[in-house]
Structure 1
Amino acid sequence: MTGHPRASKAPKPAEAIAEGLDEAMIRRVVRRFYAMAREDEVIGPIFRKYVPDARWETHLEDIETFWCASLLSSRRYDGRPMPRHLAITELDDSHFMRWLALFRHTVTELCPPLTAALFIDRSERIANSFRINIAMHRGEDLVFQPPLKRETYP
């Protein structure tokens, strides 16, 4: 997705768990990332428009549950994030690139190396999936859709 060949395979969740990945770490990542995202000049306006203050805490809890399901195989998450993202008409590649850059920055800062690599791999897969689904929903031609470029942060 990034246009760069992967240097190595993504770590397995068990490797990240052995390194200390747990629900508390996921909570720290989610809280730090979304605090920064909400204030970011590129993605902040989207978050503030579509997730009002009154729903912010619930949104964070949902995201924490999502990541616990994705990385720790918990079965508590039952959300459907795609329909909400499809409704964001202004969402484009610049938002995905910034989301990923900020997310990479956050997990690299807060997590041990294998855990950060696992988070990064999953986030890039998720972003690519969302991006493709949104493009299909909008009737865009996917054949010539270039991969996202990696944006540095800041």
Structure 2
Amino acid sequence: MTSRPGEESRPTPAQAIAEGLDAQMVRRVVHRFYDQARQDSVIGPIFRKYVADDDWPAHLAKIEAFWGASLLGTKAYSGRPMPKHLAMPELDDSHFMRWLALFRNTVTEICPPLTARLFIDRSERIAEAFRINISMHRGEELVFLPPLKREPYPRAGG
């Protein structure tokens, strides 16, 4: 895939795997990210509302399977996350922006550079697809929907 002027090309899963991406790295990313996300002041309340404490192990396993399928080509994931997100009336751009900021920070800390870029690229495309589908589901106008802005990583108290 070619990049726009001034952008780096998108890393491939094969490049990330050569750099060390494996199921254990996916697991570390997922667990670290969701440990932080559940405590976050913006997205934490949504996670706590929709995923009961007792359901977290199964939820994390499903998310690991999702990322494994997306980045490693495993066949372990079977699910439909969109309907669950469509059922969250409070979900808006502020939640997607925070999710992405926390996710970027997590993968940048844990992963080698190409692998972090691959995770970031996929997460941004997923977030945009989700918000567009949610907006369509709500009957909102999409013609002038700008891309999500990048929120800086929230420090203490965020």
* Length-normalised TM-score, structure 2: 0.93
**Structure 1 match to 2:138:** 138
Measured at CA, do residues 6 and 118 of structure 1 come closer, stay the same or move farther in structure 2, by a change above 3 Å? farther
Q: Which residue of 2 aligns with 1:79?
A: 79
Q: Tell me, which stretches of 5 or more residues in structure 1 are unaligned?
A: none
Distance in 2 (CA, whole Å) between partners of 1:9 and 1:54 is 41
Backbone CA RMSD of aligned residues: 1.2
Aligned mates of 1:107, 1:15 — CA distance in 2: 16
Higher relative contact order (CA 8 A, sep 6+): 1
Determine the structure 2 residue equivalent to 1:44: 44
Superposed CA deviations along residues 91-127 of structure 1, whole A, max 9, x for unmatched, are 0000000000000000000000000000000000000
Shift of 1:6: 6.5
Tell me how far 1:76 sits from its aligned partner. Answer: 1.1
Q: 1:14 and 2:14 equivalent?
A: yes
SS at match of 2:42: coil
Shift of 1:5: 7.4
Structure 1 residue 8: Cα displacement = 1.2
Report the alpha carbon displacement of residue 7 of structure 1 after superposing the two structures with TM: 1.7
- Distance between the aligned counterparts of 1:6 and 1:90, measured in 2? 36
TM-score by length of 1: 0.96
Mapping for residues 102-121 of structure 1, pairs under 5 Å: 102-121=102-121
State how far apart, in whole Å, the 1-side matches of 2:148 and 2:36 are: 21
Aligned to 1:124: 124
Report the equivalent of 1:58. Answer: 58
Cα 1:72–1:148, aligned 2, differ >3 Å: closer, same or farther?
A: same
**Identical amino acids, percent of aligned pairs:** 72
